[in-house]
Amino acid sequence: MCLELLRRHWHLPGLQLFGKRGERQSGVDILDLSGEIPVAAQCKLKEQGKRLSPAEIQVEVEKAISFDTRLSRYAILTTGMVSTGSQKKVLEINQAHKAAGLFTVEVLNWDVLCSLLRQNPDVRQRFYGDIDLDRAISIEAQLLTIKNGVQSLTLQRSDSNADQVINVPGGDRKCLLDTLTIIISVYNESHRLRTLVKALKAEGLTDRYRIILCDDGSTDTSFEVMQQCCRGIYTIACIRNRFNARKVGAILRMAEMVRTPFVFTLDADSVLYELQDGALEALMRKMSSDSYSVAYFRIVPAAYNWLGRLQALDYLIFTDSIRRVLGVPVCLVGQGVLWKTDSLLSVLKDHSGEFDGDDLENTVIALAEKMAMYWDARTIVVSSNTQRTVLGLLKQRALSWDFGLFRVLLQKRALGLVGESGALYKNVLLMDLFGHPFRLLAIPVLLPMIFFSLSSGDSQLFGTTAWELYRVSVQASFKYGSLAIGTIWIMSVINSFICVRGNIFSTLKWAAFSAIYLASPFVFVMYYGLVRKTGVSVYDLFGSSVYWLETGLLLTYLWWVLVAFCLLMISSLQFRAKRELMWSVVLAPIYFFLLITLCRTIGICKYFSKWMVKTSSSH
């Protein structure tokens, strides 16, 4: 019917149906094969009263842009209702297309189609016979509702068990396609896309689930490579954002397209591995039966060099060991998370859209909305790439992760969290924000030999500056260091007690966590305490510290090696994999010392500089 109506509406008898169901059509159902005017159309069925969303319009237009033949006109015919959002989206697209020299877009909704039926009685007679048009329209709408209602038994987003296909172990291929959509945001990843698609094929994900790849305004050839790699794989849809939406926007756009009850967010440099057959289906069944909103996994990065192995140990500690010890999610790391679709949309609706700290913000929103989270440490893991250079690692941690940490944790939503997660986040904020200046003051104490070397240099000015810096920082550390650290620790214990509503066991757990996280006992407990009691001046200490501070520094180093070793051993890794990371434990104290002192400092400075700019502009 749409074909016949469009032939008359556009006065193009050469219009034909394009392709068949199951073939890649690039958003084109109807095409002019005469070659005179390159026009095309897409048909979208909607239940009675449902609307065609702006996101769906954008998706179909993006598909049509990738069509082999350059189009001049493109129509979307839909049984859905018209909405102001859809009309604004069409206007926005047409303005952008006019500037770019692309085709015009029009939407013919159900009211327009009914009007065309009235104008073309031959088409009405062919499809509805002698039935009154209004009656025919009513019957058509009811049939469409029944049809979509039957289909929605496998497409619905709900917590009920109506979706029986999830409950069929190793369910057939068609059923599995209707349970899960994997969405992947891509930005300047042309060099990784072939590996990504091969990995999706190798794990059998392209055969079982729907996949959406979104090129988020890449400046390289990511979209072209994406299309080449996915050619012939009908379960993968490739879409493109004209402008970079900072990942969160790309995920939101893809999530709005999803019509399955579950959605898996995956990074373009990550690979999903099922350690047991049917692990994803089993996990979705568990999430449905036990009312979990989100599931998260261990992140096991691919380590290519010594720096990669240190990052692998880092990920292992924070996504596995600490989660196992503390019993709370540290962060829903965006490399791989399984959501109920409605839950993800609810989280993204409240998201600020900021890129830095986006995963932590997702976690805090989900916790604030009291969404149940499930940690799968045994059946599924996500492998990700690590930073190859020290500079790349520092930029990632300092300018994005650490800045994002304070951006998110200083928001009202995070400060209002209670329970175990509230204790975790507010204690981290206490220790990393208020305790950090004392870490910096302790650096000259821990590494005096560097300052002694500087003070004996040829430059008298530089030597004097180094000596004065050492004197002031040592004096401040001895005078305030242990007292400040102790005060912060007491505040963290009080905060934990309030957050866990007086649970003694939980309070003791968080008290131990804070004590270990704040500092090595050899620095702030033994060393500072002894020096403060002696009453010696900084000048008296200058020579004597060289003699025995090296021992204190060695004890501090061994303490953190022991902590890293214990966290490695209690992780879920097999012993062989743990053995490969054993040498990384030796370097772990230096690695974490540099990250905490340098990256935390830059992250704090970036946060407060942005806060001051924002505050001054508001006034």
Report the chain (619 residues): mean pLDDT per 10 consecutive residues: 85 80 69 78 74 79 81 87 81 88 88 83 72 54 43 37 40 68 93 91 90 92 92 90 86 91 93 89 93 92 84 89 87 89 92 89 93 91 87 89 92 92 92 80 59 52 62 67 80 94 93 81 50 52 50 75 91 85 90 86 90 76
Amino acid identity of 133? Answer: L
- What is the phi-psi region of residue 158: left when phi exceeds 0, alpha when psi lies from -120 to 50, beta otherwise? beta
Beta-carbon neighbour count of residue 23 at 10 Å?
Answer: 9
Radius of gyration (C-alpha) of the chain in whole angstroms: 30
DSSP state of 71: P
Strands across the sheet with 210-216, in order?
Answer: 236-241, 210-216, 180-186, 262-267, 336-340, 294-299, 373-384, 270-274
Beta pairing, strands 270-274 & 104-108: unpaired
Q: Is residue 188 exposed (0-12), middle (13-18) or buried (19+ Cβ within 10 Å)?
A: middle
Q: List C-alpha distances in Å: 227 to 23, 55, 65, 138, 212.
A: 15, 20, 12, 41, 12
Report the alpha-carbon distance of residue 215 to residue 142 in Å, rounded.
Answer: 38
Provide the H-helix boundaries in 373-459.
390-394, 403-409, 412-415, 419-429, 436-446, 448-455
CA torsion sign, 330 to 335 to 337 to 341? Answer: positive
Is domain 2-151 annotated with CATH 3.40.1350? yes
Residues in CB range of 449: below 8 A, 6 or more apart: 546
- Fold agreement between 2-151 and 164-415: no
**DSSP symbols for 224-291:** HHHHHHHTT-TTEEEEEESS--TTHHHHHHHHHH--SSEEEEEETTEEEEESSTTHHHHHHHHHHHHT
Q: Where are the domains of the chain?
A: 2-151, 164-415, 419-618
Assigned CATH for 164-415 = 3.90.550.10
Q: 333: closest CA among 312, 360, 313, 306?
A: 360
CA torsion sign, 593 to 410 to 254 to 329? Answer: positive
DSSP state of 24: -
User: Does the predicted TM-score (pTM) go above 0.75?
Assistant: no
**Tokens representing 205?**
């994900």
pLDDT of residue 537: 55
Q: Is residue 70 exposed (0-12), middle (13-18) or buried (19+ Cβ within 10 Å)?
A: exposed
Report the alpha-carbon distance of residue 532 to residue 477 in Å, rounded.
Answer: 10
Report the alpha-carbon distance of residue 282 to residue 168 in Å, rounded.
Answer: 9
